[in-house]
Amino acid sequence: MYTPWGFSDSKETLAKGITSYSTPSHGGIRLSPERIEQVPQSCIDANFLKSGEWWEEDCDWCVPYIIFADDIRAHGRAYKFEESLELAKDTARYHHPELVNKNRRNGK
C-alpha cells in the first residue's frame, strides 16, 4: 500500500475502516470514507496533511484514536490500548485542543 510516507511495510486493522500503517521512515492511521464522515471538520482542518484520510503518527493519530476509541477497544487488536488511549489524550491536549475542548463540553 502506498502511504503519504512511502510504501508500507506493515499494517494493522484497529477497527472496521481504521487501519494503522508503518513504513521504514514513518506511518499513521488511514480512515475509510465512512469513518472520515464521522470526524469533525475542525479536526480535519487541523490535520497536518489537511486530509481526513491520513493521520500521521507523531501528532495527528490521536484524533481517530480518541474519536473511535470504543470501536478500537471492541475490535481488541490495538497494542496496549488503554495506555495508547491515555497517550492519545495527552497528545491531543498539545496538538489538537479543538478535540479536547469538544470532548470536555460533551462530558468525555
Per-residue pLDDT of the chain (108 residues; tens, 9 = 90+): 999 999 999 999 999 999 999 999 999 999 999 999 999 999 999 999 999 999 999 999 999 999 999 999 999 877 889 999 999 999 999 999 988 765 544 444
Instruction: For the full predicted model, state whether its pTM sits above 0.75.
Output: yes
- Count how many domains the chain has: 1
Q: Strand order in 10-15's β-sheet?
A: 10-15, 18-22, 27-31, 54-56
Type of residue numbered 22: S
Type of residue numbered 97: P
DSSP 78: S
Angle formed by the axes of helices 97-105 and 81-95, to 10°?
110
The residue segments making up the domain with residue 50 are: 2-105
